Chains A and B, each alone.
Chain A
Amino acid sequence: MTEPKTMTPKTMTMVEAINKALHDAMEADPKVLVLGEEVGDKEGGGVMGVTAGLSTKFGTDRVKSTPITEQAIIGAAIGASIGGYRPVAEIMLMNFIAVPMDMIVNHAAKLRFMSGGQTSVPIVIRTMTGTGFQTGGQHSDYLEAWFAHTAGIKVVAPSCPDDGYGLMRSAIEDNDPVLFIENLPTYWNPGPVSGQHVPIGKARIAREGTDVTIVAHSLMVHRAAAAAEELAKEGISVEIIDLRTISPWDKEGVLASCAKTGRALVVHEAVRQFGIGAEIASTIGDELWGTMKAPVKRLGGAFSAVPFSKPLEDAFAPQPADIAATVKLLMG
């Protein structure tokens, strides 16, 4: 792989940043392929336009719109990757990933291990999700915990366009399968994009602080930031760690922040029960036993399907006010 070209930071939306990353990756490596429902320009360049322009520029041999056929999409990506390619497969919404689960969990994640390292599956599975548009119980879920619990697949979830670009470039060049989770409601939020690769497995300090560490990813980084603004007015200094990579997570980075602040809250939009927050909170509790000033807290989605009705949907996922209230509890 050639070194990424440095470019002057430009303001882009998440959609534009990921689109640019796909363009740059396809240009850098002829083995990079894109497939999924409606990814070609004839079908609109992706339902949200994330893959716009790719089929026109790189041709419909490398950028393939597929039927609605999730098992075959992931199977085709796996097979092509074993055959030497680097496919980026799109599963339009994260709930639809339940359909090709066998391909992802039993095959993509395990073939390297089960073959004793003879085969590998360097694919990226792009998917989008999130509450906010009243899309209900089968179009909104965050399901990262399923995959963080599966050995052999990496999971990333950027919260800003710069990380969207940089993580996509790294995910495509990674020699293992990577699940790439995009947040639908923040797709059009603008931000600077440096054009640099972002390493998988490294968290980012999204806001520096001294009293409490909030560990979050994806949309919850923004909600934590809104809470932190309010808390700052009351003299509470919040540090926000944006995980960026959920598996393998940056244990070192998270523990360093928690050791500094002595208080930790893990927030995710996914259902709290058995969510990734439990693993992170447990690790903080184990590793920093005796030095934390308060028990580690978790916030997550309600133990229900995502509801349709707006007030219910708002009540399902952690809001800035919930985060601020929990931080105050930690402060005693």
Chain B
Amino acid sequence: MSNTPKPDAATLLAIWKKATLIKLNDERIIKQMMAGKLVMPYYSPRGQEIIPSALSMHLTDDDYICTIYRGIHDMLAKGFPLGELWAELAGRATGTCKGKGGPMHLTHPAKGMMVTTGIVGSSMPIATGLGWAAKLDGKNRVSVANFGDGAANIGAFHESMNMAALWKLPVIFMCQNNLYAEHTSAADSRVVDRISARADAYGMPGVTVDGNDPDEVYGATKIAIERARAGEGPTLIEAVTFRFNGHLLGEAGTYMDKQLYAECQAKDPMPILRARLLTEGIATEDDLVAVEADINGQIDVALAAAMAAPFPDPSELKRDVFAQDLA
């Protein structure tokens, strides 16, 4: 990957800040859930922080993203406001979706976060449609479809990739390959090693990168997004990573290979990137501690406000079903 663009020092620090927000936010969610103060189905993104943090360096609020149930990292990297996020997770009326969507349906169009789906594979057809709208608008917007390795085996993957290539749409198919599709390993899911190899079948570029390496993710996403903005069509990026908290928080994780888990733990991108910032002199320990304290402070504020906010009124069942309220 020597010829691909690399993030400069300031960008690398910005990637770390976003990734740290994701990690600290995840830790706080788990703490709240374990204390019984937050009840929700939670698909932790711990371990996948680098992918959306590096990707988002090339996106503006006008660019669209669609993501899936394991998508809070994608949302936070794109700029989801913490207050509205926490209120939504707590099911409050002040949540971004008024408490009606929850963690699996986070939406915030003001920042380009158009759809979060709880259905494996379903981010792709809709992101393709947003890509069509972007192309018709002619404003150089791009549309990012986030999905997992499991979704690469569902029909919607094929249909979306084919249509996006056929219509030369500005779509980035961002496969976050965390090695497990729910409880099923990659080896038990497909014969081919690389998901990116499937791009050939649709006549689009396909690339596999180390999803834990900010340089590689930054470079690959930069090339894909520039290509999309130039009207040259979609790209499939497979970013290989790992999720440390299993499929659904609270599961036993007995299906996971212990040796693989240990190997992945050794490659946890968060301590590696933090150490790199120090080694390369991009930041001092004091700088990083200050950032972490600031983020934790922001989470404190968002959490406290969410818990103090009212639950939605039952009359909300009649609202937003259609444009006009039900009688």
Contacts and interface: CB of A to CB of B under 8 A. Distances in A.
B159 A114 contact: no
A176 interface: yes
A79 B143 contact: yes
Nearest to A75: B125
A106 B119 contact: yes
A113 B125 contact: no
A25 B96 CA distance: 34
A58 to B, nearest CB: 12
A70, A113, A115, A120 pick with most chain B CB within 10 angstroms: A115
A138 to B, nearest CB: 18
B114 A72 contact: no
A104 B159 CA distance: 16
A64 B108 CA distance: 29
Given A118-B96, A175-B323, A75 B160 contact: yes
A106 B122 contact: yes
Contact of A67 (B133, B155, B163): B163
Interface stretch (B3-11, B97-105, B185-193, B259-267): B97-105
B136 interface: yes
Contacts of A45: none
A176 B155 CA distance: 26
A83 B159 contact: no
A152 B322 contact: yes
Sort chain B's interface into a size bin: 35 or more
B235 interface: no
A79 B163 CA distance: 13
B321 A151 contact: yes
A72 B133 contact: no
B166 interface: yes
A61 B155 contact: no
A170 to B, nearest CB: 13
B97 A114 contact: yes
Contacts of A61: 136
A85 interface: yes
A248 B318 CA distance: 13
A79 B129 contact: yes
B126 to A, nearest CB: 4
A32 to B, nearest CB: 12
A310 B165 CA distance: 44
A112 B160 CA distance: 23
Interface in A76-114: 76-85, 87, 102-103, 106-107, 111-114
B133 A77 contact: no
Interface residues of A, number: 44
Nearest to A153: B322
A107 B119 CA distance: 9
Interface SS majority for chain A: mixed
B321 A119 contact: no
A74 B320 contact: no
Given A67-B162, A117-B320, A107 B130 contact: no
A82 B66 CA distance: 11
Contacts of A116: 95-101, 107, 320
A134 interface: no
B117 interface: yes
B197 to A, nearest CB: 21
A107 B105 contact: no
Given A69-B162, A79-B131, A83-B134, A107 B107 contact: no
Contacts of A111: 107, 115
A107 B122 contact: yes
Contacts of A103: 122, 125-126
A69 B156 CA distance: 9
Nearest to B127: A79
B162 A64 contact: no
A116 B93 CA distance: 9
B231 interface: no
Nearest to A31: B136
Given A82-B129, A112-B322, A102 B119 contact: yes
Nearest to B166: A67
Nearest to B114: A82
Contacts of A117: 98, 319-320
Given A69-B159, A79-B143, A115 B129 contact: no
A85 B160 contact: no
A160 to B, nearest CB: 26
Contacts of A67: 162-163, 166
A82 B100 contact: no
Contact of B163 (A76, A85, A87, A118): A76
A72 B129 CA distance: 8
B117 A107 contact: yes
Contacts of B118: 106
B286 interface: no
B324 to A, nearest CB: 8
Contacts of B114: 79, 82-83, 119
B125 A72 contact: yes
Contacts of B143: 79
* Residue among B99, B101, B108 having the largest count of chain A Cβ atoms under 10 Å: B101
B163 A119 contact: no
B156 A78 contact: no
Given A79-B125, A107-B115, A71 B322 contact: no
A78 B125 contact: yes
State the 5 A-B residue pairs at the shortest beta-carbon distance, nearest first: A79-B129, A75-B125, A83-B133, A116-B98, A116-B97
Given A71-B125, A111-B115, A152-B322, 10 more contacts: A72-B159, A75-B156, A78-B125, A78-B126, A82-B126, A83-B64, A115-B101, A116-B98, A118-B96, A118-B108
11 contacts: A64-B167, A69-B159, A69-B163, A72-B160, A75-B160, A79-B128, A79-B131, A103-B125, A116-B320, A118-B97, A119-B107
